[in-house]
Structure 1
């Protein structure tokens, strides 16, 4: 249990790779704060972690909203006193070519896939410095390296 009693925040942990990451982090002994805009999915992940003997709580969080990210970080620090691990995994895929994707789609992709990771890291960094360390893990995609013209907004944000 290499993460025993560490406090971890995992965004986008209601499904997919974010969920898998949260499960592994919990299995290694961390207390996991599940942040997902789908409350039911987040609660399901937290339930499964607890059923396996881990510690987890779910917080409905839309990382596309600055206030929600601020509340997630401040609330976790207030409750647990520190954040040892921030795993930014939440993301959206906005499909379409350059001529098909609207400005709203590009803005959503950038806001959730890039800006939210920056904001969460910026908010947690002072406490990590004060406590003498921590880990910020930002999940990306090979779409940032291998161009996909059918996913221009997503690829640009990766």
Structure 2
């Protein structure tokens, strides 16, 4: 599944699933553009993933800034001259039912989880269409495929991201640009602690594991391998797909 010399942008690349995807892309030989808000972590990860022939570019950006996508793409093109793959991983979770969700929380979650992915995808399209080659992978959630309590803005935002995936896939199906999404369930990341607050982490993870047919939560490496497969030419006849990575949860 070599991605040698492919230029890949990964948003939310400084922790969790995004970092795991960046590491997997690096193993496959990709040139990386890492996007995140934490400059110290971003630079440290870029240094960690540097190889003799490949040095990642870190771009500090808050994707709530509408100008950020064009700036990220300009920096990528200036360094590498092309854009082959975009992984829209940056995401935000704020808990709350409809009665508990403020307008500010709603707007922020929808802006980061959907609008930022839309703006990033729109920004990379001119390069991908010009070369008639590109792959966009959106990181959605199994909560995009089913309801969940106490996270109305997050669930709606991830469902909207899957619809963005389908629509863009159809718009560009004959242009050489594929658009797919992964839908992970509970995965051992820092966001797990936000989604399910509690002091006893081991007990919390076990309680979640008990709801999953395979009896455990996911590992970031497992999620990353599927994302990288979708990004690669091994998935060349896949577009518009929503791929659950959920230990069987969505089969229940």
Alpha-carbon deviations, 1:18-60, whole Å to 9, x = none?
A: 0000010011111101000121222222122127985312110
Match of 1:83 in 2: 83
Match of 1:122 in 2: 122
Secondary structure of 1:113's partner?
A: helix
Secondary structure of 1:2's partner?
A: coil
Q: CA 1:147/1:32 → structure 2, altered by over 3 Å: closer, same or farther?
A: same
Match of 1:22 in 2: 22
Question: How many pairs were matched up?
Answer: 158
In structure 1, stretches of 5+ residues that fail to align are none
TM-score if structure 2 supplies the norm length?
A: 0.60
In structure 2, stretches of 5+ residues that fail to align are 159-252
TM-score if structure 1 supplies the norm length?
A: 0.94
Q: What is the alpha-carbon distance in structure 1 between the residues aligned to residue 70 and residue 5 of structure 2? A: 23
Secondary structure of 1:63's partner?
A: coil
Superposition pairs for residues 143-154 of structure 1, below 5 Å?
A: 143-154=143-154
Alpha-carbon deviations, 1:89-144, whole Å to 9, x = none?
A: 00000111110110110101110000111111111111101112011111101111
Alpha-carbon deviations, 1:134-158, whole Å to 9, x = none?
A: 1111110111122122111111101
Name which of structure 1's ranges 82-91 and 35-44 shifts more when overlaid on structure 2. 35-44
4+ runs of 1 displaced by more than 6 Å? none
When the two chains are superposed, the root-mean-square deviation of aligned CA atoms in Å is 1.6
Larger Rg: 2
